[in-house]
A and B are shown apart, each in its own frame.
Chain A
Amino acid sequence: MKCSNAVTVLSMALFLSACGNDDQNDAQLLGPSPSFPEPERGLLPSMKIAEPTPWGDQLPTVPQGFTVTAIATDLKIPRQTLVLPNGDILVAEGRGGNAAKLKPKDVIAGYIKAKGNTSVESGNRLTLLRDADGDGAYETQTVFADNLNAPYGLALFEGNLYVANQDALVRFDYQEGQTEASGQPTKITDLPSAINHHWTKALTISPDGRFLYVGIGSNSNITERGMEAEVDRALVWQIDAVTGAHKPYATGLRNPTALAIQPGSGQLWAVVNERDELGEDLVPDYLTSVREGGFYGWPYSYWGQNEDPRVRPQDPDKVAAAIVPDYSLGSHVAALGLDFSTEAMGAQFADGVFVGEHGSWNRKDPSGYKVIFVPFSNGRPAGQPIDFVTGFRTEDGKTRGRPVGVTVDPRGALIVADDLANTVWRITRTQ
């Protein structure tokens, strides 16, 4: 109940109800079978933008047995990271999207939301970080490749470095030890980029290197830019790494912002950001295994067969066909990072996934703004999530950082990109 401390924008006491939501209820909203309230939306949507503030000498909070260090600062909007075989780290930096402002609302909401983000210009580049002597300090910070177009997803397979720009999937030749790309990248295929309301192109690669999977977000919250704008959106493409031929692998995924292959099974998993403006606790963002040919509901329904009243024309057949996702992460947390853990992270965190949560805007009591660990058992999520990195918000409701991509370093560390502080954090296991 920290209403008074935070910047509540556009809030008119007349229209908005009092501060909601206690923590004890939150557990029911997480996990494999969350409970849902009825959809609700006042005359104004709940908006709470936490004012940015510098970290200063503060650090994020990490579990006992781990230390956290900022291994790179002054980046230009770091989003996703990739740990290379020699331990170097690549950071994709940038901001995309060119969605036109269609309604007066877009002008006003865009201005308000921008207050909660960095004002740094889009880097449009890959930065390489190197810790040559292994002391934990990444003394080299250099530009690996420049002049990209809002790069986001990264993947490596045997000398091929794949980068998902906001408009195309490209490939660099990569040799171990390189600190700079040897030339311009080769385009594998264009990606849907008209409007790009949700511009991030998440990327992962099949274990045999044959197929790339690209997450392509919807072009609206809930079809308010028209159904025509949603062709080739809200889905995951499977792309042939050699020819660039592609097909929809799974659809109805509103904004699949991070993809990862489960070690062992080779199963594709995704975190997906769900729709806004249906209330504080609707609709949960989720973690799910992605079934080939599966339809996950957007825009017609959410979490299986819960029909969204805002979509016209309706499609009852699609609603009936919608798959229920595996695991609720909670509403509006804005999960943007996903990676599977390894034994090197210690017994408690060995089996499961890390999820980076950028944090909410459409909620009076902010959610997300942390990195969580979802424990797995027998290859499936099992149990409540554990906070892994917190402290991104101050006691008085300001925001120091916002986590995006999370990458497990096989040497026993988690790399977290922070696109508000323009910092990369490394959380290292010490015992």
Chain B
Amino acid sequence: MTATTQRTYRRRPGPLHATLLAGTVPLFLGALLSDIAYYRSYQIQWSNFSSWLIAGGLVFCGLAVLFALANLIRATRKNGRPLLYLLLLLATWVLGFINALEHAKDAWAIMPASLVLSVIVTLLACVATWIGLTNLRSGGAA
């Protein structure tokens, strides 16, 4: 009985973990939208916005990765969702970091690679968040 309660309690991320995790989505999505705006308008300010949004996304995502790692370590069943969640989040962060470096190029030199990366990073962040917030501990069926 006690064991079951414990499992239920840890199944979903806590408030801080959830906030960090969910926060990555609007940050990376905002960067993507800014990239689209720069691509269409040549107005450099959109590129500046995008750079800072990615920097913010990396902070949120990076901290969420730590939580995901802690969750994996504490999980009784380590393969399955906890591992998948961590790997997806880690991939989001690594590609997000490469995207940040890409955005550090001057003016139009960031195009088109930064736009493509922003699409991929945003999608990864969405999927990782979906999995992270749905169910962390159980192997899928449960």
Residues in A lying within 8 Å of B, measured CB to CB:
41, 43-44, 102-105, 220-227, 277, 309-313
Write the nearest CB–CB distance from A307 to chain B, whole angstroms.
Answer: 12
Residue among B98, B101, B109 with most chain A CB within 10 A: B109
Q: Could you tell me the distance between the alpha carbons of A343 and B47 in the complex, rounded to whole angstroms? A: 54
Q: Could you tell me the distance between the alpha carbons of A103 and B51 in the complex, rounded to whole angstroms? A: 6
| A103 adjacent to B104 (CB under 8 Å) | yes
Residue among B43, B52, B102, B108 with most chain A CB within 10 A: B108
Q: Could you tell me the distance between the alpha carbons of A286 and B101 in the complex, rounded to whole angstroms? A: 30
* Contact residues in A for B123 (Cβ distance below 8 Å): none
| A310 adjacent to B101 (CB under 8 Å) | no
Write the nearest CB–CB distance from B47 to chain A, whole angstroms.
Answer: 8
Hey, what's the 0/1 contact readout for B35-74 against A, CB within 8 Å counting as 1?
Answer: 0000000111101100110010000000000000000000
Write the nearest CB–CB distance from A13 to chain B, whole angstroms.
Answer: 15
* Contact residues in A for B43 (Cβ distance below 8 Å): 226
Write the nearest CB–CB distance from A12 to chain B, whole angstroms.
Answer: 9
**What number of A-B contacts does a CB cutoff of 8 Å give?**
56
Partner of B44, one of A221, A224, A277: A224
Contact of B116 with A by CB under 8 A: no
Q: Could you tell me the distance between the alpha carbons of A309 and B55 in the complex, rounded to whole angstroms? A: 26
Residue among B52, B100, B107, B109 with most chain A CB within 10 A: B107
Write the nearest CB–CB distance from B40 to chain A, whole angstroms.
Answer: 11
Contact of B17 with A by CB under 8 A: no
Given the known interface contacts A104-B52, A104-B55, the answer about A277 and B105 at a Cβ–Cβ threshold of 8 Å is yes
| B108 adjacent to A310 (CB under 8 Å) | yes
| A43 adjacent to B108 (CB under 8 Å) | no
* Contact residues in A for B44 (Cβ distance below 8 Å): 223-227
* Contact residues in A for B55 (Cβ distance below 8 Å): 104
Measured as residues with beta carbon below 8 angstroms from the partner, the interface class of chain B is 20 to 34
* Contact residues in B for A313 (Cβ distance below 8 Å): 42
* Selected A-B contacts with CB under 8 Å, 27 pairs: A43-B98, A43-B101, A43-B102, A44-B101, A103-B51, A103-B52, A103-B103, A103-B104, A104-B52, A104-B55, A104-B100, A104-B104, A105-B103, A105-B104, A222-B109, A223-B44, A223-B106, A224-B106, A224-B107, A226-B44, A226-B45, A277-B106, A277-B109, A309-B109, A310-B107, A312-B107, A313-B42
Write the nearest CB–CB distance from B98 to chain A, whole angstroms.
Answer: 7
Hey, what's the 0/1 contact readout for B87-104 against A, CB within 8 Å counting as 1?
Answer: 000000000001011111
* Contact residues in A for B108 (Cβ distance below 8 Å): 309-312
Starting from the known contacts A103-B104, A220-B106, A310-B106, 11 additional A-B residue pairs (CB-CB under 8 Å) come to A43-B101, A44-B101, A103-B47, A103-B48, A104-B51, A104-B104, A226-B45, A277-B105, A277-B109, A309-B109, A310-B105
Q: Could you tell me the distance between the alpha carbons of A225 and B45 in the complex, rounded to whole angstroms? A: 8
Write the nearest CB–CB distance from B105 to chain A, whole angstroms.
Answer: 7
Q: Could you tell me the distance between the alpha carbons of A311 and B105 in the complex, rounded to whole angstroms? A: 12
* Contact residues in B for A227 (Cβ distance below 8 Å): 42, 44
* Contact residues in B for A277 (Cβ distance below 8 Å): 105-106, 109
Closest A residue to B102 by CB, please name it. A43
Q: Could you tell me the distance between the alpha carbons of A103 and B55 in the complex, rounded to whole angstroms? A: 10
Closest A residue to B106 by CB, please name it. A224
Find residues 8-28 in chain B having any chain A CB closer than 8 Å to their own CB. none
| A311 adjacent to B107 (CB under 8 Å) | yes
Given the known interface contacts A44-B101, A104-B100, A312-B42, the answer about A222 and B51 at a Cβ–Cβ threshold of 8 Å is no
Write the nearest CB–CB distance from B113 to chain A, whole angstroms.
Answer: 10
Q: Could you tell me the distance between the alpha carbons of A41 and B107 in the complex, rounded to whole angstroms? A: 13
* Contact residues in B for A226 (Cβ distance below 8 Å): 43-45
Q: Could you tell me the distance between the alpha carbons of A41 and B108 in the complex, rounded to whole angstroms? A: 13
Write the nearest CB–CB distance from A352 to chain B, whole angstroms.
Answer: 35
Q: What are the 7 closest A-B residue pairs judged by CB atoms, nearest first?
A: A105-B104, A224-B106, A226-B44, A310-B109, A312-B42, A103-B51, A310-B107
